[in-house]
Amino acid sequence: MRPLARVQAEALRRRGADVLLVTSDQHPESDGARDYELVLDPRVRTLATWPASVAAWRRVRDYGADVVIAELVRDPRWMALAAGAPRVQLVHDDKPHDADEQRPGYERAVFDRWGARSAATVTYSDYVADAIISRRDVAGTPVHVLPLTSDLDVALVPPPVRAEGRRDFVMVGRLNPYKNIDVVLRAWQRHVSGQAWRGDNLLLIGDGPISLRNAALPPHARWLSGSYRYSDVIETISAAKGSVAHYRRASQSGVQVLSMQLGVMPIVSDIGGLPEYQPPGGPVVGVDDVAGLAAAFDRLADPAVAARNGAEAAGHYARRCCGDAAADRLLNILAEVRAARPPFGARELTRAGRPRERF
């Protein structure tokens, strides 16, 4: 989640907040530490990682945060980094998507108890907020909902692609079973066999299971396997006629908001596509409706329709999901948490002489 945390931190900084981001180097987009970043190795059983953790504890203590934001913490040493200030926990999903995301029992016992002492919980959809309200690490905390923003730096967003430049459909990210790949491929085969096909390919971009490696893809479907950096795929995604996020379970999808940010209309299922993210009029198809999904491909195959729908998606993202919109709401939540408890730590005065909050 480091790229998303950077987008959020920089949006808060643009609003005058002082932010120290403690993170790890586990994402393909990771690069050198920025001036507000402290990068740690979370392998707690590796002795060589401990000196940096001790140094980080001293820096964080001297920093004196007013509020700590905790997201996907799995290293118990980081619990000490969050001591001494009220804490807000960010919860992305109501449950693991698949076996790869399951946490060991001892982690759940330790970190759920720690999460239950949070001053507030933040989720990215009403669906998740409703699903976790009774969970032991959430019950008893105020729950707030923020819009999920894309983790792509706005400086990297290319200009909108016009109709004449539109080609192909994309399915991006870890191609896990819940992403309903079998139905997508059957619908694609039906589209390619019909009269609406305009010569496009369906591009599957990202890692996938062994079953996908052994599967025979239908005509004009290509799998670009392996991890990637955004610089490798942004031009391909932004030129696409549609982005497939037709999942078998509800998810506030990073792919969905990335697609909108790049001016590409997402195609979602009636189970997987949360209403607060899909643009008005965007394709919402039954999760097992092969014919309906093929019809969505048919409609967006027209490059003029794809470009017009992409512009609508980009407008929806700018109004509802952009980093600045999310930061405004998050800053209000942090201010409420700070006001509810006497502040800790140091204060830094801005040139205007007002206290500058630290997070």
DSSP-assigned letters across all residues of 6-68? HHHHHHHHHTT-B--EEEES-STT--SPPTTEEEE---TT-GGGHHHHHHHHHHHHHH--SSE
* Position with higher pLDDT, 98 vs 192: 192
pLDDT above 70 (res 99): no
Residue 202, both tokens: 């369906």
**pLDDT for 14:** 92
Q: Name the pLDDT band for 97 (thresholds 50, 70, 90).
A: low
- Amino acid identity, residue 286? G
Residues 114, 77 contacting (CB under 8 angstroms): no
- Summarize the confidence of residues 333-352 as an average pLDDT: 62
Please tell me whether residues 138 and 204 are part of one structural domain.
no
167 and 114 in a common domain: no
Reply yes or no on whether the pLDDT at 347 is more than 60.
Answer: no
Residue range 25-67, pLDDT digits in tens? 877 676 777 889 998 888 888 888 889 889 989 999 999 899 9
What is the rounded average pLDDT for all residues in the chain?
87
Rounded CA-CA distance 271/249 in Å is 6
Find, among 343, 347, 346, 354, the residue nearest to 67 by Cα. Answer: 343
E runs forming strands in the chain: 21-24, 37-40, 68-71, 87-91, 120-123, 143-145, 169-172, 202-205, 221-224, 242-245, 266-269, 284-285, 348-349, 355-356
Q: What is the pLDDT of residue 196?
A: 97
Q: One-letter amino acid identity for 208?
A: G
User: Residue 237: which CATH number?
Assistant: 3.40.50.2000
pLDDT of residue 359: 60
Please give the pLDDT value at position 351. Answer: 31
259, 241 Cβ separation under 8 angstroms: no
Q: Which pLDDT does position 227 carry in this prediction?
A: 82
Q: How far apart are CA 299 and CA 285, in angstroms?
A: 13
For residue 242, what are the β-bridge partners? 169
Task: Give 163-179 pLDDT, tens digit per residue.
Answer: 999 999 999 988 888 89
Q: How many CB atoms lie within 10 A of CB 9?
A: 22
Q: Is the pLDDT of residue 15 over 60?
A: yes
* pLDDT reading at 151 higher than 80: yes
Same domain, 316 and 328: no
Alpha-carbon dihedral sign for residues 212, 213, 217, 222: positive
Are both 104 and 158 inside the same structural domain? Answer: no
pLDDT at 270: 92
Least confident of 10-19, 38-47, 96-105, 215-224: 96-105
Residue 271: how many other CB atoms lie within 10 Å = 17
**Pair (117, 181) in one structural domain:** no
Whether residue 235 is found in the same domain as residue 330: no
Phi/psi-derived region of residue 150, left when phi > 0, alpha when psi is between -120 and 50, beta in every other case: beta
Residue 104 has pLDDT above 80, yes or no: no
Assess whether 183 and 140 both reside in one domain. Answer: no
**Using 50, 70 and 90 to split pLDDT, how confident is the model at 310?**
very high
The count of structural domains within the chain is 2
Provide the pLDDT for residue 213: 65
Residue 91 and residue 19: Cα distance in Å, rounded? 20
Q: Which residues pair with 145 in a beta bridge?
A: 123
| Per-residue pLDDT tens digits for 117-150 | 999 999 998 989 999 999 988 988 999 999 999 9
What's the pLDDT tens digit per position in 233-280?
999 999 999 999 999 988 777 899 999 999 999 999 999 888 888 998
Asked which of 159-163, 216-220, 312-316 is least confident by mean pLDDT, the reply is: 216-220
Verify that 51 and 37 share a domain, yes or no.
Answer: yes
Burial of 243 (0-12, 13-18, 19+ CB in 10 A): buried
Pair (283, 233) in one structural domain: yes
Q: Do 71 and 195 sit in the same domain of this protein?
A: no
Q: Does the pLDDT of residue 106 top 80, yes or no?
A: no
Domain span at residue 243?
Answer: 154-320
Residue 111 pLDDT > 90: no
For residues 164 and 285, state if they share a domain: yes
Among the residue ranges 54-68, 92-106, 332-346, the one predicted with the least confidence is 92-106
Torsion, Cα of 218, 220, 226, 230 (10° steps): -140
Average pLDDT over residues 171-191: 93
Please tell me the predicted confidence (pLDDT) of residue 42.
84
Same domain, 163 and 302: yes
**33 CB-near residues (< 8 Å, 6+ apart):** 39
Q: How far is CA 173 from CA 193, 206, 239, 326, in A?
A: 26, 5, 17, 23
As a whole number of angstroms, the distance between CA 66 and CA 276 comes to: 31
Q: Which residue, 117, 150, 145, is CA-closest to 132? A: 145
